[in-house]
């Protein structure tokens, strides 16, 4: 079956079974095209919470599906390929969070949504790359402190600290995203020579030396809005994030040009889903092999920091 036939088939099954499909911007474009909602982690968390459907198919990595399960304990959250995991989340364990707390008992724990449910359950508040600055400002005011514990992404911690002036103690020092941290200033230099008169947009998970070269730093949703609100003169953009997002921009803004700062900026973990797997799930909704269910005791604890973030956002 070709892509268009498969997509039509999926759209029919989705309607018939009253299923919502959520997809991250880093998904292959043919999956983004059949989703009810495409967005970044914050948008997906909010949408998962609002959706009334009994089944949500989540085309994203494991922690995103877990977050959907935490905020929708009564619904079935299905992930097309359970091997789609975020390696960054593995940098921080609940035991490590407890050790940091013992060392810094007065400081609040802020965890990036790119973390396991068990880690979220140990935290005071969650954040995303869209709202991390505002979240550390609010939580440090609430705790009346000038430092917070922040994990697992050391680059997002550094960016948040730079922008907020609140010290973000990294949990751990080496947490990073292998996609964004591979971008180097030399790549930017080469790309800028190749594509002149471009605006450089990068993700805060990039290293500081790269962020400092950028015209704009933000989450995928923020970069999307930056392009949407750009003037007619700004029609060439260098994109410093995963390839799926650049493809999406190319599709949505056909009067502008988008170039990647580097070849092969691909999150292979995000690309483990495909249309065949989604079609299979829609035909086998009760197959528990695809269901992501966070145990209720952990979900209950993890819901508190997630809701606290959503209420602040």
Question: For binding to ligand SF4 (CB under 6 A), which residues are involved?
Answer: 26, 61, 86-88, 114, 177-179, 242, 267, 269-270
> Hunting for tokens 């968390």 — which residue is that?
45
The smaller minimum CB distance to ligand SF4, of residues 128 and 269, is found at 269
> Closest approach of Cβ 161 to ligand SF4, in Å?
19
- What number of other Cβ atoms are within 10 A of residue 231's Cβ? 6
**Residues 9, 279: contact at Cβ < 8 Å?**
yes
> Which of 125, 106, 101, 105 is CA-nearest to residue 115?
125
> Closest approach of Cβ 68 to ligand SF4, in Å?
15
Half-sphere exposure of 194 (CA within 13 A, CB side): 14
The smaller minimum CB distance to ligand SF4, of residues 132 and 140, is found at 132
The smaller minimum CB distance to ligand SF4, of residues 108 and 152, is found at 152
> Closest approach of Cβ 153 to ligand SF4, in Å?
7
The smaller minimum CB distance to ligand SF4, of residues 26 and 237, is found at 26
> Closest approach of Cβ 179 to ligand SF4, in Å?
4
> Closest approach of Cβ 103 to ligand SF4, in Å?
26
Residue 220 CA to residue 140 CA, distance in Å, equals: 26
The smaller minimum CB distance to ligand SF4, of residues 65 and 238, is found at 65
C-alpha angle 161/96/128, rounded to 5°? 40
> Closest approach of Cβ 89 to ligand SF4, in Å?
7
What are the distances in angstroms from CA 24 to CA 38, 40, 59, 110, 184?
A: 5, 6, 7, 23, 25
| E strand segments, 13-151 | 19-24, 37-39, 55-59, 76-78, 109-112, 125-127, 147-151
Sign of the alpha-carbon torsion through 81, 87, 91, 92: negative
> Which of 48, 76, 19, 4 is CA-nearest to residue 282?
19
The smaller minimum CB distance to ligand SF4, of residues 267 and 277, is found at 267
């Amino acid at each position: 079956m070709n892509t268009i036939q498969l997509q039509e088939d999926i759209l029919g099954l989705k309607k018939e079974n009253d299923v919502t499909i959520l997809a991250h911007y880093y998904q292959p474009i043919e999956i983004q095209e059949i989703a009810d909602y495409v967005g970044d982690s914050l948008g997906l968390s909010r949408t998962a919470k609002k959706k009334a459907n009994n089944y949500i198919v989540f085309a994203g990595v494991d922690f995103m599906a877990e977050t959907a399960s935490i905020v929708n304990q009564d619904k079935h959250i299905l992930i097309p390929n359970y091997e789609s995991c975020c390696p960054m989340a593995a940098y921080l364990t609940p035991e490590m969070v407890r050790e940091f707390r013992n060392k810094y008992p007065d400081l609040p724990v802020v965890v990036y949504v790119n973390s396991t449910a068990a880690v979220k359950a140990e935290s005071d508040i969650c954040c995303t790359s869209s709202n991390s600055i505002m979240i550390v400002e609010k939580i440090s005011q609430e705790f009346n402190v000038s430092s917070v514990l922040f994990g697992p992404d050391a680059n997002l911690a550094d960016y948040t600290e730079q922008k907020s002036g609140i010290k973000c103690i990294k949990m751990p020092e080496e947490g990073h995203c292998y996609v964004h941290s591979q971008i180097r200033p030399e790549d930017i230099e080469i790309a800028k020579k190749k594509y002149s008169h471009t605006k450089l947009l990068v993700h805060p998970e990039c290293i500081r030396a790269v962020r400092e070269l950028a015209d704009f730093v933000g989450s995928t949703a923020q970069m999307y809005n930056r392009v949407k609100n750009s003037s007619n003169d700004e029609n060439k953009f260098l994109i410093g994030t995963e390839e799926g997002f650049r493809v999406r921009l190319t599709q949505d803004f056909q009067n502008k040009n988008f170039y990647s700062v580097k070849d092969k900026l691909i999150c292979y973990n995000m690309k483990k889903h495909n249309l065949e797997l989604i079609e299979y799930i829609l035909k086998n909704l009760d197959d528990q092999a695809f269901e992501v269910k966070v145990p209720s005791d952990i979900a209950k604890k993890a819901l508190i920091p997630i809701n606290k973030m959503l209420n602040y956002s």
